[in-house]
Amino acid sequence: MIYTVTLNPALDYFMAYDQIEVGEVNRTKITRITPGGKGIMESRMLSLLGTPNTALGFIGGFTGKAIQESLAAQGITTEFTQIFGQSRVNVKVKTLETETSLDAAGPDLTEEDVRNFVKTFDRLTSEDIVVFAGTAPKSLGDSFYEQLIKLVKLQDANFAIDVDGQKLLGTLSKKPLVIKPNREELEEMFDVKFETKEDIIPYGQKMLEMGAQNVMVSMAGDGALLFSDTSVYFAAPVKGIIKNSVGAGDSTVAGFLSEWSKSKDPVKAFKQGVACGTAKVFSEDMPSSSYLQKCLQQIEITKLV
């Protein structure tokens, strides 16, 4: 089983405009409300791929109820920890030129909330994968992911993690199954600037040396890299019209884990991951299964090292 962990779920309220006039009344052309949070996006993609998974996290209030009902309607299994606080609402504003996110902080969590949530990890087995993604509520502190990773390792399960910067580097010694920083995040982590994809190679290899089992580095319109064992692979970019980049990285991780859980082949997993991320970017919300397969057929993988 794959478990996705979203510690701070949200309802994402999307609004689209040709342009925004600050200080004026702006009337949207399109609105859409969907359950959001990085782990939830991964569960949505995993379910689209037909891969069994369970979404974990904290939810509460009428927004939490809406999140759970929406996921249930999509056939997604959830085992959220119910809290007294209110799950957040994030506003995503898209114009012809930019995408802007207005994200809420999220609810405070009690010690009882945390105890109830942590009990979920008692059931893990060596066949399971837990995906940690996104920021944790401030009330949990900076070390909460580290505590959860220890619980995963105690059960001999695998984990993947998608968090920012130095927090990501701090988890590598625990041997995550896969990580997926983008080029800009990698530049910030190592305080460098990359001019070519070849410039990235030493840093991807360094993260393998630090403990990551597989490293994917996304480069937006310039494709993506996979570092696995002693090899480096390049996925050429697919051309298309960008419609909604929210959740593209999460979809890439989900696609990788879906295939890896079946074949244990990192290159096949990389190809499917890139296809899922690509299909997500070129779709208003989640892609259709047929469009996902079309994108998969267009992905070309080349071995660089």
pLDDT at residue 27 is higher than 80: yes
DSSP per-residue string spanning 100-143 = EEE--------HHHHHHHHGGGGG--TT-EEEEESPPPGGG-TT
C-alpha–C-alpha distance, residues 265 and 268, integer Å: 6
13 found inside a domain: no
Distance in angstroms between the alpha carbons of the first and the last residue of the chain: 33
CATH number for the domain that contains residue 187:
3.40.1190.20
Domain total in the chain? 1
Burial of 104 (0-12, 13-18, 19+ CB in 10 A): middle
The answer to pTM > 0.85 is: yes
What confidence score (pLDDT) does residue 138 get?
Answer: 80
23 found inside a domain: no
pLDDT at residue 50 is higher than 90: yes
Angle between helices 248-263 and 38-48 (to 10 degrees): 50
The residues annotated with a catalytic role in the active site are 250
Band of pLDDT at residue 47, cut at 50, 70 and 90: very high
For 231-242, write each residue's pLDDT tens digit.
999 999 998 888
DSSP per-residue string spanning 136-172 = PPGGG-TTHHHHHHHHHHHTT-EEEEE--HHHHHTTG
Which domain range does residue 293 map to? Answer: 2-8+37-87+106-303
pLDDT at residue 106 is higher than 90: no
Contacts by 288-294, CB closer than 8 A, 24 or more apart: 289/48, 292/48, 292/49
Mean per-residue pLDDT over the chain, rounded: 92
176 found inside a domain: yes
245 found inside a domain: yes
Q: How far is CA 27 from the centre of its chain?
A: 31
What confidence score (pLDDT) does residue 105 get?
Answer: 86
Other beta carbons within 10 angstroms of residue 131's beta carbon come to 29
pLDDT at residue 284 is higher than 90: no
Coil/strand/helix, residue 174? helix
Q: Which range has the top average pLDDT, 89-103, 111-125, 241-255? A: 111-125
What confidence score (pLDDT) does residue 77 get?
Answer: 94
pLDDT at residue 262 is higher than 90: yes
CA distances 179 to 167, 182, 273, Å, are: 12, 10, 12
CA-closest candidate to residue 43, choices 258, 231, 302, 288: 258
What confidence score (pLDDT) does residue 76 get?
Answer: 92
CA-closest candidate to residue 40, choices 24, 21, 54: 54
CA-closest candidate to residue 4, choices 32, 41, 50, 35: 41
Task: Please tell me what DSSP assigns to residue 220.
Answer: G
221 found inside a domain: yes
> Which residues are within 8 A (CB) of 164 and not within 5 positions of it... i.e. 6 or more apart?
135, 185
φ, ψ (nearest 5 deg) of residue 282: -90, 15
C-alpha–C-alpha distance, residues 125 and 120, integer Å: 12
For 155-176, write each residue's pLDDT tens digit.
999 999 998 878 899 899 999 9
Band of pLDDT at residue 285, cut at 50, 70 and 90: confident
195 found inside a domain: yes
What confidence score (pLDDT) does residue 79 get?
Answer: 95
Core vs surface per residue 90-102: b (16+ CB within 10 A) or e: bebbbeeeeeeee
Instruction: Count how many residues are written for the chain.
Output: 305
53 found inside a domain: yes
101 found inside a domain: no
